Each structure stands twice: as structure tokens, then as C-alpha cells.
Structure 1
């Protein structure tokens, strides 16, 4: 959907897709037909998991999970199992913001998503739109309308369904995403705050830093709450991955200078590094030249290693210690819950050490 649909074109698209889904609808894929019923219960504490594909989900800690957002290929086996555990499974929703200015296009897009959710026996949608939006622009108001209209349609067509929206770690126009945060939060069930990639725009020295610094992360939540968003509308997102940076130079104080990679107006960004899942980070740590270090100011672990070309790298990430600190804030401020990007970053298939590391990461989600 990369072109703007006319009102007539949007209606044709909606009708065609609905007809296709009706013709292709299948019998419930679950062993028990009742497992195809939508989940309607609401739990006091939300644990929101992003799943990106594969079968690692079979080894998740299902004693905690309330919602799985499927960002990979649809897996009916996952849907059936999640429902057997009382957990929701929701669609991914993404659409170019330029196109949703047209009310007919919005209506067609929503019709498609509702029909797809019904066909796949799913429980709602997670709207993940991380595009540039200028304050008070046509897109600004259209995005709020999209969230409101999507929520109304899902709640009507799938009773008990859940509509959520992903927001940046701070409401201060991060990455030029100047959204109507209060209006969006009011219009959906809750927002998932992506408290990671917090170095996407670096305005100070170009050095490697934590992916999710403790004080910076908490300031973002304070700002959301101070602007009038109910804490029960906020789910804290934590990273189960980190960043690997090549150091142009490394000081005795462990300041790793990185190359300048601009992003949306900022001179430097975490794009100077590359994302690494926690399972790989734990293997890298075993061959580091520094051992695992702890930055007290950012309250995050990191380490340094030499690659085969003799270049020093610095790796910043989150571990059970840093995540537990943030989970404590979730409890203290009464947030709706916690979750992560993404559930497939852990080692579910390794030996006893890997299994202990994976268990500890799931345990860290529980506020102490």
C-alpha cells in the first residue's frame, strides 16, 4: 500500500479483501475449537512480548505472558497455544502516514485488519508506526484518528480485543515523531513505550553509550505521566538486544569514539553500531578483553573485545541487573506492565549456562 487510494479505490480494496478472506476462511486450526475464541479477560499486570518468527516461542515463560505481538509469519500453532494459556495474540499494524490522511483509506485499512484478525482468530492489533510526523500537521491529526477508529472497530467486531500503539522512549519528538501522545493514549487500550534505541539521535559527543540508560529511560516515563497520561496506559518496553560499536579510539576511561552517522537531523546515532541479540552478546562476553563492566551512571553493562582485524569494539546491552532496576520503577509508578523487543533474542536451545541466562532474563521482568 505505497500509493494513495481514492475514496472509491479504498472502498474497492476493502470489499475485495473481505470477499477474499471470506472465501479463504478455514476451519479452526486448534485441536479444541474453543481455543479459536478471542481472549477477553484483562489481567492486572501486562507482559507484552514481540515475536519475530520461528519456533522459539515454545520455550517462552508462558506463566507471565499476557500478549504476543506477531511481527513474523502467522503461526496458527502459536495462536492455539497462546489461547490455551489465556494469552492474546495480536497483529502488527503499519501504514504510511501520508496515506491515512484520506478517511476512506483509513476505513479500508481498518476493515482489512479486522477481517484478517478474524480470519486468523486473533485478539487485536499492535500499531507500529515510527515515521516522521510534524506537530499539528494533517498527518498528526490523521494518526490520532486512525488509532481511535481502529480501536472502535476492533472493540465492536471482536469483543474483548486489544488495540495498542508503540511510542518512542520520550514524548519529546524523538526522531521527529511529534505525535499527539495524549490523544493516542486516550484512544487505545494502552501504549507500548519503546525504551530502547535511545541513542538514535546523539547531539553531544560521538561516543558509544547504553541502549537504554536508566535515568534517561525513567525521565521519559515521567514526561509521559506529567503530560497527563495515566500510568495504567503505559507498558515499559525493555531491550533484549544491545549494540556493538567499532571504536575509532578508546580512552582509559572507556570512552569509545564512534564514526559520525547522522539520523533525522542529529550528527551521530546508534546506526554507527549494529544490533546484537542477547544470546550472541553472552557468547561474545566470554572472549572480551575487558570482562563485563558496569557503568554506574547509566546503570548498564558493557564490555570490549578485539576483532580479527585488531579493531577494538565496545558492546552495550541490558542484562537481568539493569532490567530489574527498570522493573522496579514499573512497580513504583504503577505502570500497566512490561515487555520486550523481542522474545526471540535469548538462547533457548543451549546448554545449562545458556538456560540459566535465559531464565534470569525472564525473571527480571517481575517487579521486586
Structure 2
């Protein structure tokens, strides 16, 4: 894999000619939305195909996979645009294999709300081991409130060999958790029992593979109580054959230019669960200081600490494809950033003729621009280099895998980078 950085004067045609890859394939594989006006500093992932196949009349993904010794899921990962189709067309060329040196198999987790666009979900499922459905909020009495019917999502996941996981938290859709509800649950075993029983009933009824619990607001003072709660829950869930994961947002300080993590003893938790997802701290960070999102240099320091207290095979590293656009000057607690996709950020840079810069330590692209009202903005986002660096940490630290918040949009380039490095574990029969 080569990550090409667009230079002044380059066009999609000159890059295509240089690497001997057709223009339409470069656009397709990278999800490029601005081919006629590339931004300086934009990333384009280059991977040469090893085996191409021209579709014949009457073939199916299953028959093509059988003929070439691969799987339909691998074909969909190599050609995700096929997921948008009800039929495949004779004469079209698809990639059977790329010239990659995949390191190993990893597990992946995708978080989705119940209202996810089905076409986005179907395109993403081949890349997932688990689908965590963000649909269940708990109350201080241990009741569970669901937002919408997620039966179709559960069934779709299973068709693609993906294990559907019930996500339980006190969190609203805006990312705000209820400390009061969390406290009420932790101090009351009767409430815990009611919550666990309600979760079991939902998992059995809906056909979930297991549960993913968001363990909120962990502190030095409450971690022992949390451990007791997880011990209680895991004994019951495991006895019923369900897998249990927990999601943790590391305690951080993100209100200054220098992000820092608190060294809480998370080792007290891992013995009761099948995996711990350390998710990025930007679930609701739109009022935070303008900076890179989960900078790799800070993340590496955090992982150095975490793998010293938790077996790495229990750890999932959280990744987000989100970027943020801040209006300057930044006013703490008042300046709210706007969520922005990488393609939207690239479009802004291209239209304004602004080169995208790159922070090597954080492994994050950024740039400044003036909007039509004359206000100065700064954008921090992620590109192929960002995803490549974060994916590389899985191998460096021998982690169980990667977790993605969220999969509500399909990030073509991100999945292309992941697909060049890893095979994806499938737990369900259809995978």
C-alpha cells in the first residue's frame, strides 16, 4: 500500500498515469468526491490488484468466490460498491485480490444507531465482527428503554456473519450520560439484578449475540464498585452463553492544547469481560479545545500504560472517522465545533485553494480557512495516514482489534486502509 499525498499541479489523471491505475478505480477505491479539483495534501491510497476478474453472465458472488478460492465477504470488502447493487453486470471488472501483505486476523466493532441508512449498513457489515446497536437506555430503576425497533438490523448483521450486540448505557443520543442514574445502579444490587434480567430478556427475544455495556465516568473512587457490578453481570451473562464487552471512554483532560489521560487501574475490570473497548474521548467533544482527535502520540502513551495492566488480547482500540470545524477565536465552553467528514473537509480546502497540512506527532491533517462571512476557521480531521497509523497500533501492541464510532457514514478510504492490512474475524455461521 502506498499513501499518495497530492502535490501542487497534480491531477487525478497524472496520478492515475503514474501508478498505472485507471482513474475510475482510483475514485472508486478512495471515495473521491472532488476528482476535478484535488486539494494539495489530500491522500489517495494506492494498492495494485493481484487478481482481476471480468464478470460473466449468470455468475454470482458465491460462484466467483468458489472459483477463486476466496469468500463472498472478501469480494465485498475488495469491491464495497457491489453492496449497492441488486445485480452484478457482465463485462464489469472486479478485484479478487490485492497485492497486500495482510498481517493477521483482527476483530472489529461498529457502533450504529437504529436509524442507520440500510445501504450504509450493508456496505459496512463485511468489514465487521460485531455490530453494536446504540438503542437501549437504562433508568435508575433498572428498566431499559429502547428507541426504535432494531429487529431488521439484528437480522441483517447475522446474514453477513456479524455478531449483533446490545449496547446498554445511560447515554442520550447527544452523547450526554446521566451520572445520577449510573450512581443509582452502582449502589443498589436490586437495581442491578433488575437491569441484568431485563437485558437478558431483550437479548433472548431479539437474538443478540451478547451485550456491550458502556461503563461511564470511571474514577479512582468508584472503580471497585464498578468491578463488583461487572463481576455480578458477567457471571449471569456468561452462564447464559452470552458474550460481554464493555466500552470505556478514558478519563481525559481535553480542554487545553495538551491532552492528557488519567492512569486509572482498569485492570480491576478485564477479568470479568471478553473485551474492553477504549473508545475515543470525542463522543461529545464539540465544545473542547481545537486539536487533533485522539492524537497518536498521546494514544501510544496511553496504550503503553494499558497493556502493562491488561492483556492486550482483551483490548479494542477505538477509532473515529469524524473531523471537526471550529470558528476562531476559540472561547472555552462557548465555541462549538461542527462535525465534518473528511471528504467535506477536502472539498473546503480544494474550493479555497488551501493546502492541507499534517501534524506528524498526532498523525492528523488540519488547515485554516476563511468562510464567506470573513470568519477564521480551523479544521482537524483524519485521512489515510491517520487510519494507517491507528491500524498499525493494533499490530504493534498485539491488540484484539479495532472499534469504530460510528459507522453511520461509510468512509471508503478508511475501510480500504483497514482491508489492506487485516483479515476480519467472523463469529456467525454466515460469515
Task: State the TM-score, normalized to the length of structure 2.
Answer: 0.60
Say which SS state the counterpart of residue 92 (structure 1) adopts: strand
CA contact (8 A) 1:213 1:298 kept: yes
Q: Deviations over 1:22-75 (max 9, x none)?
A: xxxxxxxxxxxxxxxxxxxxx952111011222244443333210000114442
1:261 aligns with 2:316: no
Post-superposition shift, 1:180?
Answer: 4.9
Post-superposition shift, 1:77?
Answer: 2.1
Say which SS state the counterpart of residue 115 (structure 1) adopts: helix
Post-superposition shift, 1:175?
Answer: 9.8
CA contact (8 A) 2:394 2:402 kept: yes
Change (3 A) 1:197 1:229: same
Q: How many residues align?
A: 289
1:325 aligns with 2:389: yes
Say which SS state the counterpart of residue 364 (structure 1) adopts: helix
1:46 aligns with 2:132: no
1:93 aligns with 2:174: no
Say which SS state the counterpart of residue 286 (structure 1) adopts: helix
Post-superposition shift, 1:192?
Answer: 0.6
Q: Structure 2: any 5+ residue segments left out of the alignment?
A: 1-103, 136-147, 171-180, 423-431
Post-superposition shift, 1:82?
Answer: 1.3
Distance across 2 between alignment mates of 1:199 and 1:221: 22
Change (3 A) 1:193 1:199: same
Distance across 1 between alignment mates of 2:122 and 2:346: 19
What corresponds to 2:86 in structure 1? Answer: none
Distance across 2 between alignment mates of 1:175 and 1:259: 20
Distance across 1 between alignment mates of 2:380 and 2:189: 43
Task: State the TM-score, normalized to the length of structure 1.
Answer: 0.70
CA contact (8 A) 2:252 2:260 kept: no
Distance across 2 between alignment mates of 1:318 and 1:193: 18
Distance across 2 between alignment mates of 1:200 and 1:112: 31
Distance across 2 between alignment mates of 1:176 and 1:320: 25
Greater relative CO (CA pairs within 8 A, separation 6+): 2
Change (3 A) 1:283 1:62: same
Q: Which has the higher strand share?
A: 2
Distance across 1 between alignment mates of 2:226 and 2:215: 9
Distance across 1 between alignment mates of 2:225 and 2:271: 15
Change (3 A) 1:186 1:345: same
Post-superposition shift, 1:288?
Answer: 4.0
Post-superposition shift, 1:142?
Answer: 2.7
Change (3 A) 1:78 1:285: farther
Post-superposition shift, 1:190?
Answer: 0.7
1:166 aligns with 2:219: no
Change (3 A) 1:363 1:83: same
Q: Deviations over 1:245-301 (max 9, x none)?
A: 1121xxxxxxxxx21229xxxxxxxx7423334454344343345232211222211
Change (3 A) 1:129 1:309: farther
Q: Deviations over 1:3-30 (max 9, x none)?
A: xxxxxxxxxxxxxxxxxxxxxxxxxxxx
What corresponds to 2:273 in structure 1? Answer: 188
Name the Cα RMSD after superposition. 3.1
CA contact (8 A) 1:51 1:342 kept: yes
Q: Structure 1: any 5+ residue segments left out of the alignment?
A: 1-42, 249-257, 263-270, 347-357
Say which SS state the counterpart of residue 211 (structure 2) adopts: strand
CA contact (8 A) 2:168 2:214 kept: yes
Post-superposition shift, 1:340?
Answer: 1.0
Say which SS state the counterpart of residue 86 (structure 1) adopts: coil
1:149 aligns with 2:232: yes
Change (3 A) 1:47 1:207: closer
